[in-house]
Amino acid sequence: MSDDRFFSRREIVAALTFVVLGTAIGVTSYRAGLNIAGANAGAVVAASTKPAPPNGQTLYAGNCAGCHGAQAQGGVGPSLAETKGWALADFAEAVLNGHAPGGRTLSTVMPHFADTGLDGAPPTDDQIKALHEYIKGL
């Protein structure tokens, strides 16, 4: 009779396993959900705390291509072919403050990205470097 009233050891283990797994899955999904909600637009859901390195192509497309052309061939702004040979510091000075090598001041049509920001945020050295590398590869 007692066998009818109590669960077998196997049934208990199965039930416990089910509860533990269910809880684990629930907690993991919940935390993944929090990550998605808290992440900035475009950020990848990841446990890593290190931000992704800047993407020169994305930066160029979003901030420069409209004037300099998709391939930096020129448009409203000049072709950036010559820029490929510039040192990073010269490139940065042109992009951030509108000063070209040799003391030349660029027309104000070219934004001063130190003031306007890249994608709405103050430019970082890594972003300028990523842009320079990307343009050199075009």
Which stretches of the chain bind ligand HEC, using CB under 6 A? 63-64, 66-68, 76-78, 80, 82-83, 91, 94-95, 100, 106-107, 109-111, 113, 131
35 vs 88 by CB, closer to ligand HEC: 88
Q: Which lies closer to ligand HEC via its Cβ, residue 22 or residue 75?
A: 75
Q: Pick the closer one to ligand HEC by CB: 35 or 136.
A: 136
**Least distance from C-beta 66 to ligand HEC, angstroms?**
5
Helix/strand/coil (H/E/C) assignment for every residue in the chain: CHHHHCCCHHHHHHHHHHHHHHHHHHHHHHHHHHHHHHCCCCCCCCCCCCCCCCCHHHHHHHHCHHHHCCCCCCCCCCCCCHHHHCCHHHHHHHHHHCEEHHHEECCCCCCCHHHHCECCECCCHHHHHHHHHHHHCC
